[in-house]
């Protein structure tokens, strides 16, 4: 049995997430680029009616979006957890549920792996009407005392030459027994908004213009005590050359 890959994420004790204006964070241009690239993979997977690849691309797109911006200039500690990959690199090997996909709609019904030691499932839809792709998905992952519920929604207008729109994700991660030697249960809630702002694509689908703006917030409860919170924002601008990404 392949095990779910869980990655530690930095959580810092900064201003509370409830503040109206997010702090300026550190922009990860590699993640911004990956987020845009995976938008294209979602659409190409749907075009070939491949539900497994579509699910994987959405997961990768959202995971990249979550790491576009992180807090800067603050002490940090490893307490937040979020998945990098599914337990099976090839999602077509899933052993439960269904993933029914056409060029205009992918429907996931308890699609995943229901193994006792490490399970995951996807429910919801990805739909396409004209150039607009709409996401409404729930991801559930459980492994080694860690459970994660991940909700994704949003709308993107995607053509051969452009991407525009936004994707929102919200999740709760519970780690039973604590982490880093801490007793009790660690609870991490997070929220991410990624705006794809007039992205320009060249003939190969590479971003050469426009920008991605991300707002990321985390709130950590460690055994009934606050483990820190932050809300940060940042922008990555593309171009003019393919592969050129600049933090703003």
164 vs 229, higher pLDDT: 164
Task: Round to the nearest angstrom and report the end-to-end CA distance of the chain.
Answer: 43
d(CA 14, CA 109): 39
Other beta carbons within 10 angstroms of residue 11's beta carbon come to 25
Q: Distances in Å between the alpha carbon of 116 and those of 177, 186, 197?
A: 19, 22, 42
d(CA 10, CA 91): 28
Task: Return the pLDDT at 236.
Answer: 97
Closest CA to 82 of 195, 224, 192: 192
Task: Return the pLDDT at 66.
Answer: 85
129 vs 172, higher pLDDT: 129
- Mean pLDDT computed over every residue of the chain: 81
* Reported pTM: 0.82
DSSP string, 199-217: EEE-TTS-EEEEEEEEEEE
Does 40 score more than 50 pLDDT? yes
Task: Return the pLDDT at 56.
Answer: 84
- How confident is residue 46, by pLDDT bands cut at 50, 70 and 90? very high
Closest CA to 216 of 40, 23, 77: 23
What percentage of the chain exceeds 90 in pLDDT? 48
d(CA 168, CA 61): 11
User: What token pair was written down for 45?
Assistant: 């997977």
Task: Return the pLDDT at 85.
Answer: 55
Q: Once rounded to an integer, what is the mean pLDDT over residues 243-248?
A: 94
75 vs 72, higher pLDDT: 72
Q: Once rounded to an integer, what is the mean pLDDT over residues 42-60?
A: 90
């Amino acid at each position: 049995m392949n095990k779910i890959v869980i990655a530690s994420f930095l959580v810092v004790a900064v201003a509370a997430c409830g503040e109206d204006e997010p702090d300026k964070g550190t922009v990860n241009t590699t993640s911004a680029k990956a987020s845009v690239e995976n938008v294209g993979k979602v659409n190409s997977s749907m075009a070939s009616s491949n539900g497994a690849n579509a699910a994987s691309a959405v997961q990768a797109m959202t995971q990249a979006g979550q790491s576009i911006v992180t807090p800067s200039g603050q002490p940090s500690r490893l307490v937040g957890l979020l998945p990098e990959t599914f337990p099976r690199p090839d999602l077509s090997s899933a052993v439960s549920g269904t993933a029914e996909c056409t060029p205009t709609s992918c429907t996931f019904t308890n699609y995943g792996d229901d193994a006792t030691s490490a399970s995951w499932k996807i429910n919801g839809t990805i739909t396409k009407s004209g150039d607009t792709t709409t996401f409404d998905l729930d991801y559930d992952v459980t492994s080694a005392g860690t459970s994660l519920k991940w909700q994704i929604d949003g709308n993107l207008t995607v053509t051969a030459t452009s991407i525009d729109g936004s994707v929102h994700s919200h999740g709760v991660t519970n780690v039973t027994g604590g982490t880093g030697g801490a007793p009790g249960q660690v609870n991490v809630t997070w929220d991410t908004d990624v705006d794809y702002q007039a992205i320009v694509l060249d003939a190969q689908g590479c971003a050469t213009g426009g920008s991605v703006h991300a707002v990321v917030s985390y709130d950590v409860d460690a055994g009934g005590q606050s483990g820190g919170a932050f809300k940060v924002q940042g922008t990555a601008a593309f171009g003019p050359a393919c592969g050129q990404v600049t933090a703003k």
